[in-house]
Amino acid sequence: MVDLTLTNTWAGILAFAVFMYVVMDGFDLGIGVMFRAFPVGKERDTAMNSIAPVWDGNETWLVLGGGGLMAAFPLAYSVIMSALYAPLIAMLLGLVFRGVAFEFRWRDPAHRAFWDIAFSGGSLVAALMQGIMLGALLQGVHVEGRAYGGGWWDWLTPFSLLTGASVVVGYGLLGACWLNWKTEGETQQHARRLMRIFAPLTLAALAAVSAATPFLGNEYFARWFSMPRVLFTAQVPLVIAILTWRFVRSLRRNYDLAPFVLTLAVFGLSFVGLGISMYPYLVPNSITLEMAAAPASSQAFMLVGASILVPLILAYTAWSYWVFRGKVAHEGYH
């Protein structure tokens, strides 16, 4: 019933969807996290307008991640969603507040201050909870039979708080880099200052999470340092060092796009590292891809659609970004 090639293909597609979500909603949420660091008025308006046409599409990758997990790996979906119940619902409520703020803050000037708080607060909660969920999953989930067997506070540990904070500062860095790329003048100067704060924090967070993960148990240590995976692991510190050097240089030379691309590269590298920690498990030590896989008939049916539709989606998403290319102007002045 279960086909391993199909199963691995779907694991790849879902990993791609989650990665797309992390980088695309990452800079959106990051802008929310630091939103209140920008002065009220045209700078905030510019920051928000730089993502207004694309945030909805960015968030759709999250729906694909959730829906796709249910479709391709229903057992993992049901166990993980139960295990992460509280942070997941907190994240969803955070996304409610920040999502409606895109429209609501324009509807009544007297309410704008409130929706600005909702936007940044909602973004912060969503980012923090996503990081906490990542940590909670990495540290392992108690499974009994085909169901979650733990308590509803199990997710809360020092490690999950560390991953939560890491995602917040990582998203902050992405958001600052995006604004550096998409804005000019004072807003860009503010973004550059924030990049200088978030970049070292992100690096520290990455180091802390990387140092802590192998000692969580769950065979992470063995997986990182066994052949052939060690061939990747061993390169990581060097690659990070090179990326950091390029990042500092691009910051000094006031490049617009390079810091964003370099940050994406760091995210990509971290994501591959996560894959190495997890594979072939979806829930560490208890549920493998194969165990959770939907029957081949379900996965094949979806694969037909996904192989046509995902490239199409990427094409029109790229078109939409291209339509809104260039710097977001300070409105109304020129």
Minimum CB distance to another protein smaller for 209 or for 283: 283
Sole binder of another protein in the list 4, 113, 147, 207 (CB under 8 A): 147
Q: Is 134 in the site for another protein (CB under 8 A)?
A: no
Sole binder of another protein in the list 5, 109, 231, 238 (CB under 8 A): 109
Strand-pairing partners, residue 288, are 281
Instruction: Give the rounded distance of the alpha carbon of 77 from its chain centre.
Output: 18
Minimum CB distance to another protein smaller for 197 or for 310: 310
User: In angstroms, rounded to a whole number, what is the distance separating the alpha carbons of residues 33 and 30?
Assistant: 5
Please count the CA atoms within 13 angstroms of the CA of 323 that sit on its side-chain side.
10
Minimum CB distance to another protein smaller for 104 or for 221: 104
Q: Which of residues 14-73 bind another protein (CB under 8 A)?
A: 45, 48-50, 52-54, 56-57, 59-60, 62-64, 66-68, 70-72
Q: Which of residues 262-301 bind another protein (CB under 8 A)?
A: 294-295, 297-298, 301
Sole binder of another protein in the list 16, 37, 104, 279 (CB under 8 A): 104
Q: Is 95 in the site for another protein (CB under 8 A)?
A: yes
DSSP string, 63-98: HHHHHHHHHH-HHHHHHHHHHTHHHHHHHHHHHHHH
Minimum CB distance to another protein smaller for 106 or for 271: 106
Q: 327: helix, coil or strand?
A: coil
Sole binder of another protein in the list 37, 81, 264, 276 (CB under 8 A): 81
User: In angstroms, rounded to a whole number, what is the distance separating the alpha carbons of residues 107 and 26?
Assistant: 26
Report in angstroms how near the CB of residue 307 gets to another protein at its nearest: 10
Sole binder of another protein in the list 16, 36, 74, 256 (CB under 8 A): 74
Provide the terminal-to-terminal Cα distance of the chain, rounded to the nearest Å. 63
Q: Is 103 in the site for another protein (CB under 8 A)?
A: yes
Q: Is 327 in the site for another protein (CB under 8 A)?
A: yes
Stretch that binds another protein, among 28-36, 216-224, 277-285, 317-325 (CB under 8 A): 317-325
Q: Which residues of 18-56 are buried (b: 16+ CB within 10 A; e: fewer)?
A: bbbbbbbbbbbbbbbbbbebbeeebbbbbbbbbbeebbe
The single-letter code of the amino acid at 90 is A
Report in angstroms how near the CB of residue 226 gets to another protein at its nearest: 31
Q: Is the dihedral of CA 191, 195, 201, 205 positive or negative?
A: positive
Q: Is 311 in the site for another protein (CB under 8 A)?
A: no
